Structure 1
Amino acid sequence: MHRKVAIFLFAIIVIANSPTSCIASRSLVLDGDDATPTSNTFYASEYAPTDDDDDDSQLKEAFVPEAWGSRPMKTFDVGNNNAKTQDDSHQAFLEAMGSQANTFNVIDYGAVGNGQVDDSIIQGSIIAPNNIGAWKNKDKWIQFANVPGLMINGGGRIDGNGAGWWKLCGNKKSHCQRPTSLHIHKCDGFQLSRLTFLNSPKNHISINSCNGGRVFGLLISAPKESPNTDGIDISSSTKLTIHTSLIATGDDCIAINSGSSFININGVKCGPGHGISIGSLGQNGEHSAVEEIQVSNCSFRGTQNGMRIKTWEGGSGYARKITFEGITFTDIENPIIIDQRYFANPTSVMDINKCVQVSDVTFRNIGGSSGVPQAITLDCGQNCCTNIIMDNVNIRSGVPNKDVYAYCNNAQGTSSFSTPYVPCLSH
């Protein structure tokens, strides 16, 4: 007999005193009436719209557990009254989960610190509470911090149960605190793979201050109307690879923020959502820096934006050496947009004569249909956008017998073999 499981898991914080970290494969198995999915095999078509002739073989392979390899694991089955566990830590784990604590040290539940790696395997479902008042930590739900070599794998589901938060907060970004589902902080060389993230109150995944990391095989989903539910937010991190994932949310599929460099995004399917964005940068006069970003072989469907760089007036710093290549899209708004007036209401601390310098940005082998006539927007400050390159860009209207056009203000660069014509770039 299985009992219905409700997990009030507010945050898991892995605490490791350098150089000690946590090691041991642990599998969190939630087995009960609400524990879904029953299979660890996921298919692309179940989570995002795809063309009939799309080749999803790589995506399918990423979600098939037989290809993952096997590891010894410790299992905590919190849904089976008759479950047998490998040691007495199971009962301690259950007691902690039912307590009012919102911080857990995985070493207390079977992990062994050896200074090398922590390997966490999540199977089944981790579901946030319905009651907003039950949350103690309204900033982060699950957090891993200061764990070099962290590995979070599985085939399970992390459900943020965010509908109540969306109703309470609406689009208020700064005045309504709500939790991120998964926060990874200072975990150099981490890996996050083969998990499903649903309905986060705010952004689903936040990656901060990490040097080296690999993210793949993720399914991230929230309703199109859900506010501020970014798929993956990256900040102050370097040498990250994100590939072979499906992201469908109410905000940016991926947002790359200040302090980030050498980010490689490949084979991501995005939509609905707000596309893949650099920024926003330069908020409230801040100095921001982003460089060496490669986005390739990605697709967008029904998104509000495609490839976007967004900066505030009055900011400083740079966004440079950014390449979007091999991108396809269907019926999206703003396929290509550089917006240097993302927030155009200057305050007393802002010098609107300053700008974040956007340079060495390439759009190469880009093609698809735009749902709006203005398919390309390059709206830059004076002398703030240089060496913008359009190479083999082909954007057509998604509306029969309609044309598309480009809006261009203050951008400098070149355009070749591209449609629509971009008037401020040399040809």
Structure 2
Amino acid sequence: MGMARKSSTIAAVLIILCSALGCCNAVGLPVRRGRDLGAVFNVAFMQAWHAACNFIGPRARVFVPVGIFTIGEVLFQGPCKPLSPVIFQVAGTLQAVSDVSAYSGQGWISFNSVYGLIITGGGTIDGQGQNVWQYNDCKSNGDCVHLPASVHFIDVKNAKIKGLNFVNAMGFHMHISDSYLVRAHSLTITAPPDSPNTDGLHISKSNTIKVSRSVIRTGDDCVSIGQGATNVTINQVVCGPGHGISVGSLGRLPNEMDVRGLIVKNCTLQGTTNGIRIKTFGGSGPSVAAGMLFSDVVVENVLNPIIIDQNYGGSSSKPSQVKITDVIYDNIRGTTNSPVAINLMCSSSVPCKNVHFANINLKYIGNNVLSSTCANAQVISSGVQNPRPCL
């Protein structure tokens, strides 16, 4: 693997440092684009981050100008000293080195223990995943190692990422873990429909995460909710193609943390294989997925508009121990290309409880009668119900 670039133009990563008096200085770190495939770029970026992170003043900004910058794995480590958030402004294109052996962790561009961060600028984060997807064996290997996420937040607090374009991540486009109060909005995330495990955003072990006003068109989940995610809101997201919006997979690992407090509202799913999905592994250890509201969701030509699958992958003869409870589906409407619009396959050991359907209006693109199926589920319904609920 690997690529060689023939160009050798010189650009600069700028550090803009502003004092409390409002005076600002810009420091340019020259970087040469050449055959080193990111080695010099990485040094320049780390120098820029170190200066901004340790600047004592109200504003510190790392600015990536227009141009293409090829970089390898970088870790922007905190905590930082500024009195206000560090601003990481990307106007150009950050492009990943296409060599999976060059990455040691879960992320390509990682921010760790940063308290106060704004990532913006209208630029592009290009993971060049098309060069490495062939090495993803997760469909055949249950113990596979995921390729690195384009942007990985670890222990990040009070952060905002907005106005960026993500394309062709090697793995997840964005992974948020062990973090608090992160807002992601006005993002465009794109990868081919057959790209493997290219979730738009994956959220785990994090509290108070908000995703909004974004368009996500990938080969996997638009947004996936992993273990330990609490108080997550997904609002005004357009999704498709891909696998829809998913809670899970849950229960793959021992001693997983609960998922509590999820709101998905005002979203549109277009041509996805699933609409709103909750998935857990059979034979899992005990945990809880509770307090979830899916409201005002439009599905357009979606295969499985509403689905709960508690034997995801069908590889276990033992029931899941993930308890799903207090789930509301309210005002879900649109079209499906499957005669079964609602499919609840809950655990025989811990059946789904208090699953409420209110005003469901789905239409089948075809001649069959639309139906719903349920197993081990306590269902409550009110208002319009099409298809008729399985009670």
Whether the TM-score (by the shorter chain) exceeds 0.5 is yes
Contact 1:21–1:147 (8 Å) recurs in 2: no
CA deviation profile, 1:14-71 (whole Å, cap 9, x unmatched): 68999x999512210133xxx5xxxxxxxxxxxxxxxxxxxxxxxxxxxxxxxxxxxx
Structure 1 residues 213 and 21, CA, compared in 2 at 3 Å: closer, same or farther?
farther
Aligned residue among 171, 174, 185 for 1:202? 171
Question: Residue 313 in 1 paired to residue 282 in 2?
Answer: yes
Structure 1 residues 369 and 29, CA, compared in 2 at 3 Å: closer, same or farther?
same
Letter in 2 for 1:239: T
- 1:1-400 aligned within 5 A: 3=9, 5=33, 8=38, 24-31=60-67, 35=68, 102-103=73-74, 113-114=81-82, 116-133=84-101, 135-137=102-104, 139-172=106-139, 174-315=143-284, 316-346=286-316, 352=318, 355-382=321-348, 383-399=350-366
SS of aligned partner of 1:306:
strand
Contact 1:23–1:112 (8 Å) recurs in 2: no
Identity of aligned residues (%): 32
Q: Cα offset for 1:353? A: 5.2
TM-score of the superposed pair, with normalisation by structure 2: 0.81
Alignment partners' CA distance in 1, 2:77 and 2:282 = 44
Alignment partners' CA distance in 2, 1:145 and 1:115 = 18
Q: Cα offset for 1:269? A: 0.3
CA deviation profile, 1:181-239 (whole Å, cap 9, x unmatched): 10011111110100000001111100011111111000000000001100000001111
Q: Which runs of 5+ in 2 are unaligned?
A: 1-6, 11-32
Corresponding residue for residue 414 of structure 1: 380
Q: Which has the higher contact order (CA 8 A, sep 6+)?
A: 1
Structure 1 residues 370 and 142, CA, compared in 2 at 3 Å: closer, same or farther?
same
Alignment partners' CA distance in 1, 2:290 and 2:80 = 42
SS of aligned partner of 1:24:
strand
Structure 1 residues 278 and 115, CA, compared in 2 at 3 Å: closer, same or farther?
same
Structure 1 residues 362 and 419, CA, compared in 2 at 3 Å: closer, same or farther?
same
Structure 1 residues 305 and 353, CA, compared in 2 at 3 Å: closer, same or farther?
closer
Structure 1 residues 215 and 354, CA, compared in 2 at 3 Å: closer, same or farther?
closer
Alignment partners' CA distance in 1, 2:177 and 2:158 = 12
What is the aligned residue count?
349
Q: Cα offset for 1:117? A: 1.9
Alignment partners' CA distance in 1, 2:63 and 2:371 = 53
Alignment partners' CA distance in 1, 2:180 and 2:237 = 21
Q: Cα offset for 1:131? A: 4.3
Contact 2:311–2:319 (8 Å) recurs in 1: no
Structure 1 residues 302 and 353, CA, compared in 2 at 3 Å: closer, same or farther?
closer
Contact 1:150–1:189 (8 Å) recurs in 2: yes
Alignment partners' CA distance in 2, 1:330 and 1:288 = 33
Please, what is the CA RMSD of the aligned residues? Answer: 3.0
TM-score of the superposed pair, with normalisation by structure 1: 0.75
SS of aligned partner of 1:255:
strand
Q: Cα offset for 1:174? A: 3.5
Tell which deviates more after alignment, 22-31 or 221-230: 22-31
Letter in 2 for 1:214: R
Contact 2:174–2:200 (8 Å) recurs in 1: yes
Letter in 2 for 1:392: N
Alignment partners' CA distance in 2, 1:123 and 1:192 = 14
Alignment partners' CA distance in 2, 1:176 and 1:240 = 25
Structure 1 residues 311 and 10, CA, compared in 2 at 3 Å: closer, same or farther?
farther
Contact 2:77–2:114 (8 Å) recurs in 1: no
CA deviation profile, 1:369-399 (whole Å, cap 9, x unmatched): 1111111110011242000011000111123
Contact 1:22–1:106 (8 Å) recurs in 2: no
Q: Which runs of 5+ in 1 are unaligned?
A: 36-77, 79-96
Contact 2:137–2:144 (8 Å) recurs in 1: no
